[in-house]
Structure 1
Amino acid sequence: MEKLQEIKQFVLAKTKGNALKFGDKLPHSTEQGKYTFMDNGFWVGGFWTGLNYLCYEMSKDSSYMEFARSSNHRFTKRLYEDRQTTDHDLGFLFSLSSVADYKLTNNQEARKVGIDAADELIGRFHEVGQYIQAWNVWTPGDPFSEENRGRIIIDCMYNLPLLFWASEETGDPKYKNVAIAQAETCAKSIIRPDYTTYHTYIFDSETGEPKYGKTFQGHADESCWSRGQAWALGGYTHAYRYTGNMAYLKIAKQCAQVFIDRLEEDLIPMWDFTFQGGKEGETRDTSAAAIAAASFLELAKHVPAAEQAYYHDLAKRIVFNLYEFYSTKNDPENEGLLKEATAHKPKNSGINVSLIYGDYYFAEAVARLLNETVVYW
């Protein structure tokens, strides 16, 4: 517990120092130890507000809530004025901003924004194929971009809690029904028979017929991108939490085992499991480790007692290793919490950096280990 308290103080101090510098800006990834920002939050803006709400829960220091709320105008502008920029990551954006605010404070305006975001998300649902379209058509006529009309990506499984929450909050099953449809479609397509995952999967947007798996951020179409595998194990864990469907718990546990079996000796995965065991020029992804650690702690709540300690202990060891060997605890000028994250290796973008979502899930895992968070997902 003493080590966890040390890590907690590290998270609190670094986050407050950053918030005092960042103002209402939304960080994405670091360059030479300094965070860069996305005006509209990109797909990652909620992780910064979520990190501040976590710090509020762990400290009861109201300044963190003020820091989180200072960015609200960026989220509402995007939802109500710049809708062409929204995609399936509405869950990441609004579960950790508006919904978190409402759960913590009963802020009714935040509740409305969260439900409006859920309405926007189900508006992306393709009835014929029973899937939520992940991305927009970025460049009409470009073959890859055109495929977006029928593309799902594994990250969406971790966006579905927004929809489950909206049904619980409103009593309207339409949100939950879409979330379940997405989970079922993913289970039959993007989850392979051996419980590894494709990054994306393409459907015929007119007929709904499944076509093929394809990567974007992974090494190859048939490889297993480690962060995507973490999204799967956590996404299906939360789907089970909201539905009680044992099939989802089975998928979560099997995806977890794939992840565990491919970890490096220090429990931090390579960016793609193709490179398990390491390869010169290839990098780890601490953000995948952090997502998995937080997800293992949620999974531990839903398995028999004999298995709970296994997942809990594994998550704790990952958190401790991240802190000891991959954190910025000895680098006060570095604005990130975790180093050696990998954003988009195929495009050589964000390599060996801090990523705000890696920082967020690291903090979430710490808060979970301390039993000091109650509102997330």
Structure 2
Amino acid sequence: MIPLQEIRQFIVDKTKANAARFGDKLPHCADEDNYNFVDNCFWVGGFWTGLNYLCYEMSGDQSFIDNARRSKHRFAKRLYDDRHTTDHDLGFLFSLSAVADYKLTRDAESRRIGIDAANTLADRFNEKGRFLQAWNVWTPGDPFSEENRGRLIIDCMYNLPLLFWAAEETGDSRYRDIAIAQADTCSTTIVRPDFTTFHTYLFNPETGDPIGGRTFQGYADESCWSRGQAWAIGGYTHAYRYTGDRRYLEIARRCADVYIERLEEDLIPMWDFTFQGDKDGEPRDTSAAAVTAASLLEMASHMDETESAYYKDLATRMVNNLYSFYSTKDEPGHEGLLKEATSHKPQDSGIRSSLIYGDYYFAEAVARLQGQTVIYW
């Protein structure tokens, strides 16, 4: 096994060098050596700020907090000025920016922004269907876009911590009630009886009646997109952490076991589990592996000694393999931490690339293994 100190130093050094180049910009995807940037945060902006907060915790270097705060104006503009573009990914955006800042520094403005983001997320709740509307109607009249009025997606399970945090912070149970309703609805729709997952699920937005599962980033409606399965593992684990409801921990465990059964020998999944065994040269997804490693470590902290040791050992080996075989440790000019991630295979976007969320979760897993992080989620 590679010493964790070596992996940690790699993360800290590369992030510090990147911050000097990025300024207040928010990276998304590096198809080659250099990251491209998103102006309005997209859904990924929080992962860069979160990565800097993790590096602050791992190093004690105040400059990482300064780096994260440079982009604060972009998050504020998205939340207050461009509200028509916000969607369910407010959790990804603000748990790892405003909420992380508040948890680390007790900054009052960051707390206010985090709660305002939670309010905006709660406003997306569909009372009839008991779910948070994931996406907006991007193109009125377009059939797929119109379906978004009644669409939830598995990714949203990782956005619920923003609502749970707001409930604890303010004492207003409305946030918690919405998060629980979303988790419960997802558990009987997106999570299939065999504990694989759909990517998205459609409802009649007027009546709340379920329609059926659909994919957008997976191979097919009935397939199991590996990063979606990873979102389920972590999302339900965090739902358990906030509620103590054992059903959620059991869902997380069952989803994790399904994921583990379908892994390649080096513990890095194909982009969709339809392609087990690297069929026809289909790509892997190191970002799914990183999300899963961080999620398994959280899950292990809630289990008995035997199960905890099993999942922690597995996550440790995932981190080791990511660093040994898929990192840029020998490529100082490459801005990403991990290679061979898959953003959106059906749209041929971000294939065999570095993705900022893969980098973030890789760093979160390392920080967890060293016991050096507060929980931003």
**TM-score range normalised by the length of the shorter chain:** over 0.9
Q: Percent identity?
A: 71
Match of 1:280 in 2: 280
2:160 maps to 160
Check whether the contact 1:341–1:355 (CA below 8 A) recurs between aligned residues.
yes
C-alpha distance in 1 between matches for 2:212 and 2:128: 17
Matches for 1:213-362 after TM superposition, within 5 Å:
213-362=213-362
Residue 132 of structure 2 contacts residue 152 of structure 2 at CA under 8 Å; is this kept in 1?
yes
**Contact residue 24 and residue 70 of structure 1 kept, 8 A:** yes
Q: Secondary structure at the match of 1:230?
A: helix
- Deviations along 1:91-123, whole A, 9 cap, x unmatched? 000000000000000000000000000000000
- 1:33 shift after superposition: 1.3
The equivalent of 1:131 in structure 2 is 131
Q: For the residues of structure 2 that align with 1:329 and 1:230, how far apart are their CA atoms?
A: 25
One-letter amino acid of the counterpart of residue 95, structure 1 = S
Report the Cα distance in structure 2 between the residues aligned to 1:172 and 1:73, rounded to whole angstroms: 27
CA RMSD of superposed structures (Å): 0.7
2:149 aligned with 1:116: no
**Cα drift, residue 2 of structure 1:** 6.6
CA distance in 2, matches of 1:281, 1:26: 31
Unmatched runs of 5 consecutive residues or more in structure 1? none
| TM-score normalised over the length of structure 2 | 0.99
Name the SS for the 1:191 alignment partner. Answer: coil
2:79 aligned counterpart, secondary structure: helix
Deviations 1:317-375 (A, max 9, x none): 00000000000000111100000000000010000000000000000000000000013
Cα contact 2:31–2:351 (8 A) shared by 1: no
**In structure 2, what is the equivalent of residue 176 of structure 1?**
176
Aligned mates of 2:109, 2:100 — CA distance in 1: 12
Q: Which runs of 4+ in 1 moved over 3 A?
A: none
1:376 aligns with 2:376: yes
Deviation at 1:277, TM superposition (A): 1.2
Aligned to 1:203: 203
d(CA) in 1 for partners of 2:31, 2:324: 22
Q: Report SS of the residue matched to 1:372.
A: coil
Correspondence for 2:9: 9
**Shift in Å, 1:304:** 1.1
5+ residue gaps, structure 2, are none
Task: Describe the superposition over 1:34-77 as per-residue Cα deviations: whole angstroms up to 9, x where unpaired.
Answer: 00000011000000000000000001100000000000000000
The one-letter amino acid of 1:46's match is G
Amino acid at match of 1:249: L
2:186 corresponds to: 186
Residues 269-297 of structure 1 deviation map (CA, whole Å, 9 limit, x = unaligned): 00000001111230000000000000000
In structure 2, the residue matched to 1:70 is: 70
What TM-score do the two structures reach when normalised by structure 1? 0.99
CA contact (8 A) 1:33 1:353 kept: no
Aligned to 1:34, the other structure's residue is in SS state coil
Task: Say if 1:283 and 1:352, in contact at 8 Å, map to a contact too.
Answer: yes
